[in-house]
Amino acid sequence: MISELVPPDTVVVIFGANGDLAKRKLLPAIYHLHREGWMPRSWRVIGVARSEVADADFRREARAAIEDSGHGGVNDEDDWASFAERLSFTSTDFGPGNTGDLVEAVRRAEEAVGGRPRRLHYLSTPPTTFAPLTQGLGEAGLVERARVVYEKPFGLDLEGFHELDEVVRSVVREEDVYRIDHFLGKESVQNILALRFANRMFEAMWNRNHIDHVQIDVPEELGIGTRAGFYEKTGALRDMIVTHLFQVLAMVAMEPPYDLSAEAQFAEKVKVFESMRELRREDVVLGQYDGYRDAEGVAADSQTDTFAAIRVHIDNWRWDGVPFFLRTGKRMAQKRQTVTLAFRRPPTAMWREIAAEGLPPSYLTMELAGNQGATLSFLAKEPGPTIWLGRAQMRFTYAESFGSELIEAYERLLHDALIGDRTLFTRADGIGRTWEVVAQALDNPPPVQPYTQGTWGPQAADELIAPRGWYLPERDED
Ligand code: BG6
């Protein structure tokens, strides 16, 4: 079993190697895999980008990124030296007609690794570059023995998705395509499966008979930093909702897969996407934080959404009539990643004297970031001579129950790609359908409303969910 977890010898090529994602996530992830002994016995990483970067500078930047990654940094110089010597950088504008430099760099790296190593190409670049990079890989013969990882979003709209999908299909075998969505690599997102299907008590309630509505809420504190080039073309709806939040929604809404294999899970998730009702303009609220237009690289009249909230219905037997509310935004009041199931209210006759307007709902909230775990919030009898009800909570945290440090999503997914496990990646038909679901809203979007930094976004997002309200477990104390 363990030997299957040690990947075969591999040359990893990272396109966009001096970009934000490579620095913040990919290089630290590879370093930690190396430190834990999860990289192949023999491997090399080639960073690729247009800008001129010397090997030594690439290594220096990688070290700075690893130190900043908040994951222990470098604490052993020998470890670092054995990692750094395996990194190199190739400055090239790779694509059809210009593949020579990379072909040569891969040849050298393969010679250093020895034998006929596998190749892992990681496209950590904006979605508009995926097609030409894929064509370049095909033309150069670099798809042989290779797996290709595509960052999200896979396309920028339905048409873009189909064009890209066609190119990718013509060059790479489907079993070698790894469309990444790093939320699927989060321990707590995987835990949705465990919670639902390893516990009858949760699954028994997980349907329209007991659930009033579902919230998937991913506010962020950070702004767009140096990512204006990417963000101006994407915005919150494409960057987060169609991708991460829809994938989480599929985990919450899907039927039990027949086993834990990639195919079984893909099939159930795609069924969820198929049954999602297409978004209309009135199901969407878009916002932009004040000051966004002052950021470098942002147009003075930018209409890019830095906030998006939507209401979506899943028209199937389990979820008929249960709205799902999804919200995310930059520069909001808090960084949080939660999924909340709000339960239907109980019959009220016997409680009329306590709550004339009915009892408030119970909630199950799963925390996907920070102190990961889940909180059940319910009503209990308050101590005293009469029956009075108060809010109480039961709480599970990974830290308390299991103690161990959680594996970072990118580490897990890179390792999965190295060993050839596609379970936590996505399938093209599912992605195509998610673009269909948002197509009308993208063609005919509502106006982008301003919001103050450090708040919960435009008021219209509260109106979207009304008469319900956005919920966080600590609000019980209000
Ligand atoms: C990325 C988005 O995919 O996910 C970013 O492009 C976002 O805009 C990030 O900030 C959030 O992911 P996490 O899990 O690292 O907070």
Q: How far is the CA of 153 from the centre of ligand 1 (A)?
A: 12
Q: How far is the CA of 179 from the centre of ligand 1 (A)?
A: 16
Predicted pLDDT at 350: 87
The residue behind tokens 């239907």 is 344
Nearest to 59, CA basis, from 37, 39, 85? 85
pLDDT digits (tens, 9 = 90+) for 356-411: 778 889 999 999 999 999 999 999 999 999 888 999 999 999 999 999 778 899 99
Concatenate the DSSP letters of all residues of 47-116 into one string: EEESS---HHHHHHHHHHHHHHTTS-----HHHHHHHHTTEEEEE---BTTB-HHHHHHHHHHHHHH-SS
Tens-digit pLDDT string for the chain (478 aa)? 345 689 999 999 999 999 999 999 999 999 999 998 999 999 999 999 999 999 999 999 999 999 998 777 888 899 899 999 999 999 999 999 999 999 999 999 999 999 999 999 999 999 999 999 999 999 999 999 999 999 999 999 999 999 999 999 999 999 999 999 999 999 999 999 999 999 999 999 999 999 999 999 999 999 998 889 899 999 999 999 999 999 999 999 999 999 999 999 999 999 999 999 999 999 999 999 999 999 999 999 999 999 999 999 999 999 999 999 999 999 999 999 999 999 999 988 888 888 877 888 999 999 999 999 999 999 999 999 988 899 999 999 999 999 977 889 999 999 999 999 999 999 999 999 999 999 999 999 999 999 999 999 999 999 999 999 999 998 886 6
Predicted pLDDT at 2: 43
Residue nearest ligand 1's atom 6 by CA: 239
Measured from the Cα of 222, ligand 1's closest atom is: 10
Bridge partners for 147 per DSSP: 120
Best residue for ligand 1 mutational test, from 179, 240, 407, 413 (most atoms within 8 Å of Cβ): 240
Q: How far is the CA of 50 from the centre of ligand 1 (A)?
A: 24
CB atoms within 10 A of CB 401: 9
Residue nearest ligand 1's atom 4 by CA: 240
User: Are 137 and 144 spatial neighbours (Cβ–Cβ below 8 Å)?
Assistant: no
Residue nearest ligand 1's atom 14 by CA: 183
Residue nearest ligand 1's atom 7 by CA: 240
| pTM for this predicted structure | 0.95
Is the CB–ligand 1 distance for residue 181 below 6 Å?
A: no
For 201, list phi and psi in degrees, rounded to 5.
-65, -35
- H/E stretch holding 319 reads none
User: Are 458 and 451 spatial neighbours (Cβ–Cβ below 8 Å)?
Assistant: yes
Is the CB–ligand 1 distance for residue 239 below 6 Å?
A: yes
Dist CA 37 CA 14 (whole Å): 20
Predicted pLDDT at 1: 33
Is the CB–ligand 1 distance for residue 220 below 6 Å?
A: yes
Predicted pLDDT at 478: 61
Q: How far is the CA of 126 from the centre of ligand 1 (A)?
A: 14
Give 406: exposed, middle or buried? Use CB within 10 Å, 0-12, 13-18, 19+: middle
Predicted pLDDT at 465: 98
pLDDT digits (tens, 9 = 90+) for 457-474: 999 999 999 999 999 998
CB atoms within 10 A of CB 207: 13
For 19, list phi and psi in degrees, rounded to 5.
-85, 175
Best residue for ligand 1 mutational test, from 221, 230, 231, 244 (most atoms within 8 Å of Cβ): 244
Q: Report, as residue numbers or ranges, the catalytic residues.
A: 244
Dist CA 316 CA 279 (whole Å): 16
User: Are 155 and 366 spatial neighbours (Cβ–Cβ below 8 Å)?
Assistant: no
Q: How far is the CA of 220 from the centre of ligand 1 (A)?
A: 9
